[in-house]
Structure 1
């Protein structure tokens, strides 16, 4: 987050930074996609995660009621599309498009009906549910606070849906929103200092610089600072929680430079150039002010979470339409950025259970929904040029002088077994190629806008 206008200076980054992030990507969990029940002998195509997401969106719109969800098989780089039994023609169309077809029993409408039943009969604090296209079921989770009569009610409701429609599991932690006192972006509320994380810098509909963060952060306090006990530098313009979980916060100084980047630590940034829809099975990265950079997999979409109300001891704060992942998070990470390897903004950290020692599950507000509701847009200038792209094997690329004057390092490859976030950039014009390739040819150095590293997500010049 910026203190007024950020002075121009050269950013610096170690060329080995991309390699270090690449190691994280190699260790990412992969979806164990099943090819059982394929509709024919057509060989499915391989896709990068972004291309698979785009194809999934197109098929969801064209296959009609026969479409029953999809997921990305990261190990095989294939898009698996669920098709309701009996629709041979629809299955053939999906295969022709390059997807791997899997026949399932439950339609999207049936799964959505099951979710409505859960909402009507089992909206209990400490519960969540989401459709898992890999099992073609609604997965219901109860945290450790759901006991006694509430557990019995939840279990009875799930059993009433049938074993082929829903499953029930227990979480060792407790669902909570991840706001806390500490550092990053701060506000003074009735209960004391609140800490959250900045998600993504954006441009508001009126052209002013702003950022997105969690709705429960914006509801808790109106004025936000970038240092504990510091003077506020941004004011909440819109905040929605519960129901959804996003806030649009405008910088008080209209001259604030708010580049569309995420600070991933150690002087490294990732350029964010678009909003991206999540796909079950794809690899995602989360940055938070408490726990830093972590990675994992999208496990469910359109998730519903019932948080214990922080204002009503007997109430529940229900948030719907969330992205469910196995990425960890902790208090203070609320509002933080969820993004893809190639610089797509996916989500804002909402809440979940567990921690980054033993693991857990975390839910995210989709960025696409937040942008649509607020009228904000991604993609502000960051003062850095685009580096030459290195391929997935780590071949050399050449840095180029950007319009802001700075040559950035090479991008990482798109191969999910190769490197971490692709758009990690340097500030001195020196390139960095994917491991195990050599560094790219230095680009032309120049002045770049660089932030002070405060804030979450941590948008580079926020």
Structure 2
């Protein structure tokens, strides 16, 4: 197998990124009520995620979301009403909090927003810590658009939804970087590889952002190299932002691991759902390794269409985080320190200097939709930790376990509808495409391992992150 192909299969697993940079973990605000509950047990995030899945099933319509209290290492579960199911939930080791809004209430509010306020530059997601839908508007939402959005949110009631302004502009992160490339009329498209998978027919493949797959059909591991992979399926906009790209050579080695830079390799063992409050790591070809927390689930992002100046590209079902990202990071992997695949980078606002919001496509959803499986021993659409793990998780808690990995647990996002950008930038629209072309040519030689040194990033390791 040619060296170039081997490089994209091995080094590319983690978005073929830069030197590792691990930021101090952000301390998400914790609900004061979560400090009570004498029966609550200390949990690792993977076990907290599994316990949340179990309680969601047992509580049924009374379940109103959950989040991980990273400070106390506890799972907080929202419940509407009382009864035997709630009593059993309290005895499971979770902190059970009584709230006003049910999951159905919050989903209804999101549908109202979709109907009345699908305005480019807006996004919303459920925040279980406040038991509300948090609505965000970027700098482009002004005048009549702002008035319309504000009126819609006010109509939902202050106890159901909250409106906030966010800096910058929601956009996809398709331009720049040096992970995977495609040559299109007008310039090059550049994205990041997310996770290696096995397609339903048994062939080696990888997942990346849907707007990357829509932007271009064939992909290479260098700006001027021959294609080594071809898009098999792509979803964007709509119900997700993901692509399944098959390697052209069926003998390509596609190990299930993330190359986090600086000699760090994280074995990817399974796919897992995101948990609000948990710490996750993002690897991208432009900015390397960064971490942050999951801040919302089932996010909807509305982006100005790149193909229709008066249109909007809406993407649903994403994970919202405070992890930074920049152009070129699109499609890159969101994962946990313990080896759970959580999401694929989609879009957002801000950058890794000022910070911002980034949305990710849940890996579990992408796997279920494409029929692919993670690696040789990974799971398709299953949650990361199984019920078995969660059972003992209540006690395993002891301080040591969670130390490094605690919050990686995961999220899947939310990624961003911004992805529409893919289509525009692919055609060379936007400076990104031009820049990437130049940068790519300069860096397009040798393996992705060598290119990591050219990116921004520090030298911190994944260990000791929590």
What is the alpha-carbon distance in structure 2 between the residues aligned to residue 41 and residue 232 of structure 1?
Answer: 57
**Which residue does 1:404 correspond to in 2?**
none
Report the CA distance shift for 1:421/1:452 in structure 2 as closer, same or farther (over 3 A).
Answer: farther
1:374 aligns with 2:370: yes
Note if 1:36 corresponds to 2:33.
Answer: yes
If the length of structure 2 is used for normalisation, what is the TM-score? 0.78
Q: Name structure 1 gaps, 5 residues minimum.
A: 12-19, 383-412, 423-450
Structure 1 residue 124, shift from structure 2 partner: 0.3
How many matched pairs? 385
Q: Which residue of 2 aligns with 1:212?
A: 207
The whole-number CA distance in structure 2 between the counterparts of 1:103 and 1:309 is: 41
Cα deviation, 1:385-425, whole Å, max 9, x if unaligned, reads: xxxxxxxxxxxxxxxxxxxxxxxxxxxx7424579989xxx
Query: Conserved in 2, the CA contact under 8 Å of 1:226 and 1:454?
Result: no
Shift of 1:44: 0.4
The structure with the largest helix share of the pair is: 2
Alpha-carbon distance, 1:181 to partner:
4.0
Which residue does 1:415 correspond to in 2?
402
- Matched with 2:314 is 318
Cα-Cα RMSD: 2.7
Whether the aligned pair in 1 keeps the contact of 2:205 and 2:244 (CA below 8 Å) is yes
RCO higher in 1 or 2 (8 Å CA, sep ≥ 6)?
A: 2
Cα 1:3/1:311, change in 2 over 3 Å = farther
Kindly name which structure, 1 or 2, has the bigger radius of gyration based on alpha carbons.
1
Q: Please state how far the C-alpha of 1:43 moved relative to its aligned partner.
A: 1.8
> 5+ unaligned residues in a row in structure 2: which ranges?
12-18, 379-399, 410-446, 456-466
Is the contact between residue 109 and residue 156 of structure 2 (CA under 8 Å) also seen in structure 1?
yes
Q: Which residue of 305, 308, 327 maps to 1:331?
A: 327
What's the CA shift string for 1:263-320, capped at 9, x where partnerless?
Answer: 1112321111100110000000000000000000000000000011111111111000
Aligned mates of 1:349, 1:205 — CA distance in 2? 23
SS state of the match for residue 182, structure 2?
strand
- 2:294 — aligned with what? 298
**Per the alignment, do residues 420 and 64 of structure 1 end up closer, same or farther by CA in structure 2, a change over 3 Å counting?**
closer
State yes or no: 1:242 paired with 2:237. Answer: yes
Alignment of 1:18-417 (within 5 A): 24=22, 27-36=24-33, 42-84=38-80, 86-243=81-238, 244-380=240-376, 414-416=401-403
Shift of 1:30: 2.7
Contact 1:275 1:344 in 2 (8 A): yes
The CA distance in 2 between the partners of 1:317 and 1:308, in whole Å, is: 6
Structure 1 residue 37, shift from structure 2 partner? 7.8
Aligned equivalent of 2:395 = none
Distance 1:326 1:144, change over 3 A: same
How many Å separate the matches in 2 of 1:419 and 1:75? Answer: 10
What secondary structure sits across from 2:105 in the alignment? helix
Counterpart of 2:6?
Answer: 6
| Residues 1:45 and 1:105: Cα distance change in structure 2 (over 3 Å) | same
My pick for the range that moved more, 179-188 or 160-169, is 179-188
Instruction: Give TM-score, length-normalised by structure 1.
Output: 0.79
Tell me how far 1:190 sits from its aligned partner: 3.0
